[in-house]
Amino acid sequence: MVLLLPATATACGGGEDEPSPEPTVQGATTESTSAVAGEQSMEDEPFSLITQDQAVPPDFRAAYERGSPIVVQFFEQDEMSFYPQGLGVDSIVDGSIGQLQGQYPDVEFFSYDIDDPGVAENSGELELGQYGTLAAQLGVSLTPYVALLAPRDGNYAYESVFVGYVTQPVLDQALADLANTRTTGSDEEDRLVLQQAETAGGGRLRSVTIGNDGSSEASLGGYELTAVNPSTGEADPGSGSVSVDGEAAVEPGDSLSLGRAPDVEDSEGEQVDGTFGGGSLSLSPGDQLALVGPDGAVAATFTL
């Protein structure tokens, strides 16, 4: 079933002739649907995130500003007994995304409980997991809600939007299409991706694997690895960082593994290709690792 776009989302499309939305921190509804909703007909419609004077999740904003392919999900904790699929449709969709997430390391995933927008006047006051005005900006009215946002011409467009029950194979295909925009939708020659990261005892960073989805060789000289501050969504060298040693480079379509010592094995059990050092960096499950270029810009992220 194809649904019409909720009226609240029309103002968020980014068109110059449309009025800007005026989302509030508690502006999203928690209404649930009693039918299979399916995919909304929003493909290629523009989306512009409003950050000025709005409380939006800092990590989401950072991914948006990096131009990363984004999947954002809203769910409700309560089980809804009147879906044809049975109880817990929100949980089923959430579980499908959780199973697929690891297959798409270059896509950034965000998940929010629709009942926890937070009460905040700005992004810095939002607690981790609270979404502020994001649901209102996306026009969310029903759950489960899944939006796939693709970077297009320096901005964003909806790749797909699903409201209600959606099967895992359909989500898988939509994610594959979204991930493909990482390489086909950009003129940039270098596209670095953090494919894997492993820690040792105490959470100390042990190894990483960096891929190059671009069309030319990418030099890693001057790059650093650090954590992302969950409060700001930006790289936080103050939490610790390490630097890529030497002039390591990644060929197009290839990947490179780095370890804290030359004899470290990567996630595939092979000896690493290079090393990092010059500091220390400890991470916990759920933390986000950032690959930061010499210019200070975040080139890629990976969630442990």
Instruction: Write the CATH number for 170.
Output: 3.40.30.10
Q: Which helix (H) or strand (E) holds 168?
A: helix 168-184
Whose CA is closest to 88, among 101, 75, 106?
75
Residues 247 and 180 in one domain: no
The C-alpha atoms of residue 40 and residue 59 are separated, in whole angstroms, by: 26
Q: Is 25 helix (H, G, I), strand (E, B) or coil?
A: coil
Q: What is the pLDDT of residues 178-220, one digit of tens each?
A: 988 754 444 444 578 888 889 988 888 999 999 888 778 888 8
The C-alpha atoms of residue 129 and residue 133 are separated, in whole angstroms, by: 13
Query: 10-residue block means of pLDDT along the chain (304 residues)?
Result: 33 38 37 46 83 87 86 80 60 92 90 91 84 94 93 87 93 92 50 87 88 83 85 73 86 89 86 88 85 82 83
**Domain end among 129, 153, 184:** 184
Residues 253 and 298 in one domain: yes
φ, ψ (nearest 5 deg) of residue 61: -60, -40
Chain centroid to Cα 211, Å, comes to 17
56 touches 132 (CB < 8 A)? yes
- Number of domains the chain contains: 2
Residues 215 and 155 in one domain: no
Per-residue pLDDT at 229: 75
Residues 179 and 228 in one domain: no
Range of the domain at 248: 192-303
Residues 147 and 213 in one domain: no
Whose CA is closest to 57, among 12, 105, 98, 110?
110
Whose CA is closest to 131, among 25, 202, 203, 33?
25
Per-residue pLDDT at 188: 45
Structural domain contains residue 169: yes
Per-residue pLDDT at 34: 32
Pairing of strands 274-277, 255-259: parallel
Secondary structure (DSSP) of 283-296: --TT-EEEEE-TTS
Q: Taking the alpha carbons of 21, 22, 26, 29 in that order, is the dihedral positive or negative?
A: negative
DSSP state for residue 125 in the 8-state scheme: G
Residues 168 and 204 in one domain: no
Q: Is 212 helix (H, G, I), strand (E, B) or coil?
A: strand
Residues 178 and 197 in one domain: no
Pairing of strands 234-244, 274-277: antiparallel
Per-residue pLDDT at 231: 63
The C-alpha atoms of residue 131 and residue 227 are separated, in whole angstroms, by: 21
Per-residue pLDDT at 139: 93
What number of other Cβ atoms are within 10 A of residue 43's Cβ? Answer: 14
Residues 34 and 167 in one domain: yes
Residues 29 and 137 in one domain: yes
Q: What is the mean pLDDT of the chain?
A: 78
Prediction pTM value: 0.57
Per-residue pLDDT at 65: 81
Structural domain contains residue 129: yes
